[in-house]
């Protein structure tokens, strides 16, 4: 075993013995004054509270020193814990001896050993936390001063010699300081023989602290002053260090300050009765705050340690339990001393060996999430997507990501920053991962940090990057599904609009024309039967005109039909397809930005205006190139068709220009023509809302 771990084991044994002695004396009838129980504690409650403090400090310091022996933090806490345990054990033992009429060294040494437990938290522990090293070089001086002062004062308090008090028949015990202020404040404790209280009567020589003059007059005041200066220097440095700290160190120091400040304040300023309760509460909370800083913020690499502890602690407990059960079973069946133990050990080893791997995986998932098994994380994401509903695909994928790294939340954003899906906490300050699909960015996955300022490890970042690719696939599938549904809705709406237009055109235009033809034919039949040739000729001429009107109406209806290319390709690609038929005469370039979903009437009008303009260019402009540009604002679609030809006059444009203007004005828009020797530009503005 390593020397450091030997020291930890020895400290644990000393603590166990000291606490056992203290708890035994607590069961005995003992006067409060004999163990210096401060108000409002009785002897029993004082011993119990002190045992709790010593146990918590020793366990916390022992665990840290065992796992990280090169870090001074664990040894410092362990020293305070052992000192507190020895203090309560020796004080209780000395008090019990006093009650028996014997004054011995435990009565002097025990109370003095409480000093390290009081003085270490607001000095050395505060200066070295959270990584066990001073924040800078100048910190070494106040740290060294505090360490030397604590050691000197602890030793200086209980140095006794033979006292001639036997002449008075008294056995005396010192009135030891019961508050931190009694040590720090000058004149609060004099350590002389006048501050003794009567303990018991005894015959013959007794031990009592008749202090060496040089100890009382020089050593104690000097080290008391050095301790005060060191304490002030440490606290003067802690405040700016705390304010300048970055997360998570700031949170770690905040937890310790939260528990140390009441300890210091209660010892100096609060009335004694309440102060003593607050001191013990603070002493219990100091190691708790250290444990929170270690576990919550992964101080000292504790995640690996916790993982190992979970595995081997659980495994060891299972082995011991299996061994005991097997030994008891075999021992009951066989009359042998050694055989049951051998059989039980072999059975436990063989039976529980496979369980270790399962324990390992379970501990890994508990401590690390799924970062130790990326394949499992990806598999769980796929399973959740495969079994979830269509509306829960993306939230389910995000839940898998959050569970994989124990994150408090995550969101998916579009390339323009819009939040598309969010779960849990705001991911500000966390990991940001691009979601790529088909070689292009489709969005970002933002995962919240587990705690403020905490960064994900390299292994966790690789896992998140792998999961981001899977989330990108899910996101793209959801986006395509939504786009398909939107396109279907658009086609349905366009079909309904076209049906309504056809119904109106047939009812208002072609219907009356055909009705007029039918009436004319009936009149013609009557005229022929009557032999009125003149009337028959006139009726026939009128019927011919009505049929011509009907043909024109049919052509108008056909001209107004929505092109099928719009439904199959969309507006930009439909224009490009039509332009390809014109390119044999003149090259056409079509530029269309990302257009929103357009109303069917706007799409139809834009397509008809563009095709008419391209036809005019091909027939009249003698251009070398044509440029078609489509763009959309929040309120309108902007269409521009420009060429570099000879220009087209209003008269030359003729019916085509009239048709284009009529289509634009029907929707509440406008159409402009700018023509000259350098070419012609047609601009159309088609409002979206009014349409």
648: pLDDT confidence band, cut at 50, 70 and 90? Answer: low
Helix, strand and coil percent figures for the chain, each rounded to 5: 65, 10, 20
**CA–CA separation, 536 vs 339, rounded Å?**
132
Phi, psi of 174 (to 5 degrees): -75, 150
- 71 versus 351: which is more confidently predicted? 71
User: 19-60 pLDDT, tens per residue?
Assistant: 888 888 877 776 655 555 666 677 777 788 888 888 988 988
- Assigned token pair, 173: 């015990």
* 546 contacts 520 by C-beta, under 8 angstroms: yes
pLDDT at 180 over 80: no
- Assigned token pair, 467: 């999961």
In this structure, the number of other CB atoms found within 10 A of the CB of residue 542 comes to: 16
* 170 contacts 194 by C-beta, under 8 angstroms: no
In this structure, the number of other CB atoms found within 10 A of the CB of residue 600 comes to: 21
Phi, psi of 631 (to 5 degrees): -150, 160
User: 672-681 pLDDT, tens per residue?
Assistant: 988 887 888 9
Phi, psi of 172 (to 5 degrees): -110, 150
pLDDT of residue 306: 44
pLDDT of residue 493: 78
- 663 versus 683: which is more confidently predicted? 683
φ/ψ bin of 300: left (φ > 0), alpha (ψ from -120 to 50), beta (otherwise): left
685: pLDDT confidence band, cut at 50, 70 and 90? Answer: very high
Give the torsion through C-alpha atoms of 334, 335, 339, 343, to 10 deg: 20
Q: Do domains 374-477 and 570-687 have the same CATH topology?
A: no
**Mean pLDDT, the chain, whole residue set:** 73
pLDDT at 157 over 50: yes
Helix axes 458-505, 374-387, angle to 10 degrees: 20
pLDDT of residue 210: 39
Domain at 570-687, CATH from 3.40.640.10, 3.30.565.10, 3.55.50.30, 3.40.50.1580: 3.30.565.10
628: pLDDT confidence band, cut at 50, 70 and 90? Answer: very high
Mean pLDDT calculated for residue range 7-29: 86
DSSP single-letter state for residue 237 = H
C-alpha pair distances (Å), 351 with each of 314, 317, 321: 15, 14, 12
pLDDT at 5 over 50: yes
pLDDT at 232 over 90: no
User: CA 160, 161, 162: angle at the middle one, nearest 5?
Assistant: 135
- 333 versus 129: which is more confidently predicted? 129
**CA–CA separation, 233 vs 236, rounded Å?**
5
Give the torsion through C-alpha atoms of 259, 264, 269, 271, to 10 deg: 60
β-pairing verdict for 670-676 and 419-424: unpaired
Domain ranges of the chain: 3-157+215-297, 304-368, 374-477, 487-560, 570-687
Nearest to 478 by CA among 389, 545, 561, 544: 389
Least confidently predicted of 197-211, 300-314, 372-386: 197-211
C-alpha pair distances (Å), 476 with each of 102, 419, 470, 492, 633: 86, 15, 10, 24, 26
CATH class as words, domain 374-477:
alpha beta
pLDDT at 594 over 70: yes
684: pLDDT confidence band, cut at 50, 70 and 90? Answer: very high
H or E element, residue 394? helix 393-405
* 295 contacts 286 by C-beta, under 8 angstroms: no
- The residues near 367 (Cβ < 8 Å, ≥ 6 apart) are 303, 306, 307, 310
pLDDT at 317 over 80: no
pLDDT at 690 over 70: no
Helix axes 272-296, 302-333, angle to 10 degrees: 90
Phi, psi of 537 (to 5 degrees): -65, -40
C-alpha pair distances (Å), 88 with each of 36, 274, 326: 10, 20, 42
pLDDT of residue 174: 39
pLDDT of residue 291: 72
pLDDT of residue 683: 93
pLDDT of residue 218: 66
Phi, psi of 628 (to 5 degrees): -110, 125
């Amino acid at each position: 075993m390593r020397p450091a771990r030997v020291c930890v084991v020895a400290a644990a044994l000393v603590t166990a013995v000291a606490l056992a002695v203290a708890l035994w004396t607590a069961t005995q009838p003992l006067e409060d004054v004999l163990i210096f129980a401060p108000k409002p504690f009785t002897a029993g409650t004082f011993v119990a509270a002190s045992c709790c403090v010593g146990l918590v400090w020793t366990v916390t310091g022992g665990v840290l020193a065992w796992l990280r022996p090169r870090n001074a933090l664990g040894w410092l806490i362990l020293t305070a814990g052992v000192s507190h345990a020895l203090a309560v054990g020796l004080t209780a033992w000395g008090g019990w001896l006093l009650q028996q009429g014997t004054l011995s060294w435990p009565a002097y040494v025990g109370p003095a050993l409480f000093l390290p437990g009081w003085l270490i938290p607001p000095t050395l522990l505060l200066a070295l936390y959270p990584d066990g090293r001073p924040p800078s070089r100048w910190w070494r001086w106040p740290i060294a001063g505090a360490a030397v002062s604590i050691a000197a004062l602890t030793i200086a308090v209980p140095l006794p010699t033979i006292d001639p008090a036997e002449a008075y028949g008294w056995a005396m015990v010192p009135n030891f300081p019961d508050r931190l202020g009694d040590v720090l404040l000058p004149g609060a404790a004099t350590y002389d023989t006048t501050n003794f209280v009567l303990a018991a009567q005894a015959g013959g020589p007794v031990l009592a602290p008749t202090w060496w003059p040089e100890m009382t007059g020089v050593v104690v005041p000097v080290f008391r002053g050095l301790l005060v200066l060191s304490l002030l220097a440490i606290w003067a440095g802690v405040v700016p260090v705390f304010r300048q700290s970055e997360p998570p160190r700031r949170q770690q120091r905040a937890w310790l300050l939260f528990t140390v400040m009441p300890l210091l304040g209660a010892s100096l300023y609060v009335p004694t009765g309440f102060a003593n309760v607050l001191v013990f509460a603070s002493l219990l909370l100091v190691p708790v705050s250290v444990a929170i800083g270690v576990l919550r913020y992964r101080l000292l690499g504790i995640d690996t340690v916790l993982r190992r502890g979970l595995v081997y602690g659980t495994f060891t407990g299972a082995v011991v339990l299996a061994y005991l059960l097997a030994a008891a079973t075999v021992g009951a069946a066989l009359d042998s001393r050694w055989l049951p133990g051998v059989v039980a050990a072999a059975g436990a080893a063989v039976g529980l060996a496979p369980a270790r791997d399962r324990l390992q995986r379970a501990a890994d998932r508990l401590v690390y999430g799924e970062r130790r098994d990326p394949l499992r994380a990806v598999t769980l994401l796929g399973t959740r997507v495969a079994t979830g509903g269509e509306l829960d695909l993306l939230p389910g994928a995000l839940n898998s990501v959050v569970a994989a790294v124990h994150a408090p939340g995550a969101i998916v954003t579009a390339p323009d920053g819009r939040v598309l899906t969010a779960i849990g906490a705001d991911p500000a300050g966390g990991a940001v991962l691009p979601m790529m699909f088909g070689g292009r960015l489709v969005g970002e996955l933002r995962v919240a940090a587990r705690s403020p300022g905490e960064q994900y490890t390299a292994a966790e970042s690789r896992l998140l990057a792998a999961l981001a690719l899977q989330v990108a696939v899910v996101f793209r599938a959801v986006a395509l599904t939504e786009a398909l549904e939107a396109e279907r809705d658009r086609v349905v709406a366009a079909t309904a609009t076209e049906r309504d237009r056809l119904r109106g055109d047939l009812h208002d235009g072609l219907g009356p024309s055909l009705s007029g033809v039918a009436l004319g034919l009936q009149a013609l039949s009557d005229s022929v039967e009557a032999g009125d040739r003149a009337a028959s000729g006139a009726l026939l001429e009128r019927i011919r005109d009505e049929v011509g009107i009907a043909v024109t109406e049919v052509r108008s209806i056909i001209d107004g039909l929505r092109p099928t290319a719009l439904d199959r390709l969309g507006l930009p690609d439909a224009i490009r397809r039509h332009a390809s038929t014109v390119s044999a005469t003149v090259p056409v370039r079509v530029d269309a930005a990302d257009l929103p979903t357009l109303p069917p009437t706007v799409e139809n009008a834009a397509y008809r205006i563009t095709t008419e303009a391209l036809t005019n260019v091909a027939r009249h402009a003698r251009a070398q190139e044509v440029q078609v540009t489509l763009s959309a604002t929040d309120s309108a679609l902007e269409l521009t068709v420009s060429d570099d030809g000879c220009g087209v006059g209003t008269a030359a444009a003729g019916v085509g220009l009239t048709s284009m203007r009529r289509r634009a004005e029907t929707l509440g828009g406008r159409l402009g023509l700018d023509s000259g020797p350098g070419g012609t530009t047609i601009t159309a503005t088609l409002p979206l809302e009014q349409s």
